[in-house]
Amino acid sequence: MRFAVIVFPGSNCDTDLFHAIRDELGEQVDYVDHTETNLAHYDAVLLPGGFSYGDYLRSGAIASFSNIMPAVKGFADSGKPVLGICNGFQVLLEAGLLPGAMKRNEELKFICRPVELIVENNQTIFTSEYQLKEAIQVPVAHAEGNYECNEATLESLQVNNQIVFKYKQNPNGSTADIAGITNEKGNVLGMMPHPERAVDQLLGSADGLRLFQSILKNWREQNAITS
């Protein structure tokens, strides 16, 4: 399986993702610059955390207009997996690939610490290696992770089972304790916590590795069906 890690000016978690895929998952991975326009040779696309374009205007707003984004949208439309982590989640929101928006954390402070997440949906290509309602430990590191949506959007997320992760103890004020959501197809996931920083017990937790293992397992199953 071949992964693409999109690199924007200001990305700073791209190397963490690269390490998680190459060294922990054992799969092929390339850095793909934001100026590129083609993702045809990849099986999964990852948008890393950081401060794309310095978070000017709004977090993820300028990055959503990068040259690579039409290819990311086309990739998502084709049903292939797209994962946005932290700033990558913000980019997906700004690009309209996921519903809702981000506000500053409720206490207006940067948060950087391990948190417990509850797996709300383990029937996605990102979460099949978890147990339903399992509590996992994954770190957060953000100042604008307060997920916001209107009542109609929240109802839609709940009805369609698009809420994948919730905070056990909400650190930022996010609506309905939401930590991660998918699109309706289930092939685009945005999450504020950093699974790539929880891929080895030396880091304090290896719970994040199973997210990437889920993607790989799904790809292998799909590839076996189509080959």
Single-letter amino acid code for the residue at 106: E
DSSP 47-85: E--B-GGGG-SSTTTTGGGSTTHHHHHHHHHTT--EEEE
Catalytic center residues = 86, 194, 196
Question: Which residues does residue 83 pair with via DSSP β-bridges, in sequence order?
Answer: 46, 189
Is the distance from CB of 106 to CB of 136 less than 8 angstroms? no
CA 206, distance to chain mean position in Å, is 17
Q: Give burial (CB, 10 Å; 0-12/13-18/19+) of 27.
A: middle
Which residue, 56, 52, 58, is CA-closest to 85?
A: 52
